[in-house]
Amino acid sequence: MNSYPHPIIAREGWPFLAIAVIVALIASVTLGAWSLPFWLIALFVLQFFRDPGRLIPLDPKAVLSPADGRIVVVAKAHDPYANREALKISVFMNVFNVHSNRAPVDGKIEKVEYFPGKFVNADLDKASIENERNALVIKTSNGETVTCVQVAGLIARRILCYVNASDLLARGQRYGFIRFGSRVDVYLPLTARPLVVVGDKVSATETILAEF
């Protein structure tokens, strides 16, 4: 898969932004100063779909954050997608975070699994097993398994994933997007050493979640 050519605004947002701006322009002509709320909506859409490029850390042992947001889980948990006990690190994204998702490690995708589900608050841990989600099980070059799961949230209604089983991923590669609030769960080997704690704010690709 080719690297995503970061165009500042994510391609998923172009139709939404175009509609918001057109509506705001029409409101400006017909409503004058009362069109301000429509321009605020357009501004919100613009900031939600921003998609900046990121610098990739050089440390080959680093597991990078797949999303912007706040750490809500760092704990031992069962990884149902690779059927193992693992270290789970979860990143919660609110509507003001960048929502493009990026690969946490270099590796080959062993499987991609999509599960329909509910849309409870993604800040709650039960969202990991109850909400709509899409999981990638990745095998790294040194034989470790890393599972990365996109989880829809209370408002999110669309998980987008652009990779398939057998694809090769590079750290920091953009592989998907979740619209309007969500979370990403990362399951790592129990030998991984976490470098974040609950409450930490993280940036996709640039923040190192753990090392193994």
State yes or no: pLDDT of 188 exceeds 50.
Answer: yes
Residue 13 corresponds to which tokens in the numbers above? Answer: 């947002």
Secondary-structure breakdown of the chain: helix, strand, coil percentages, each rounded to the nearest 5: 20, 40, 40
Q: What is the pTM of this model?
A: 0.86
Residue 166 corresponds to which tokens in the numbers above? Answer: 């057998």
- Per-residue confidence band for 5, with pLDDT thresholds at 50, 70 and 90: low
Residue-level pLDDT at 2: 44
Active site residues: 182
State yes or no: pLDDT of 46 exceeds 80.
Answer: yes
101-156 confidence digits (pLDDT tens): 999 999 999 999 998 877 666 566 776 777 889 999 999 988 999 999 999 876 65
- Per-residue confidence band for 7, with pLDDT thresholds at 50, 70 and 90: low
Instruction: Compare 6 and 160 and report the one with higher pLDDT.
Output: 160
Q: How far apart are CA 121 and CA 5, in angstroms?
A: 31
Residue-level pLDDT at 119: 65
The answer to whether 174 touches 7, Cβ cutoff 8 Å, is: no
DSSP 118: B
170-181 confidence digits (pLDDT tens): 999 999 988 766
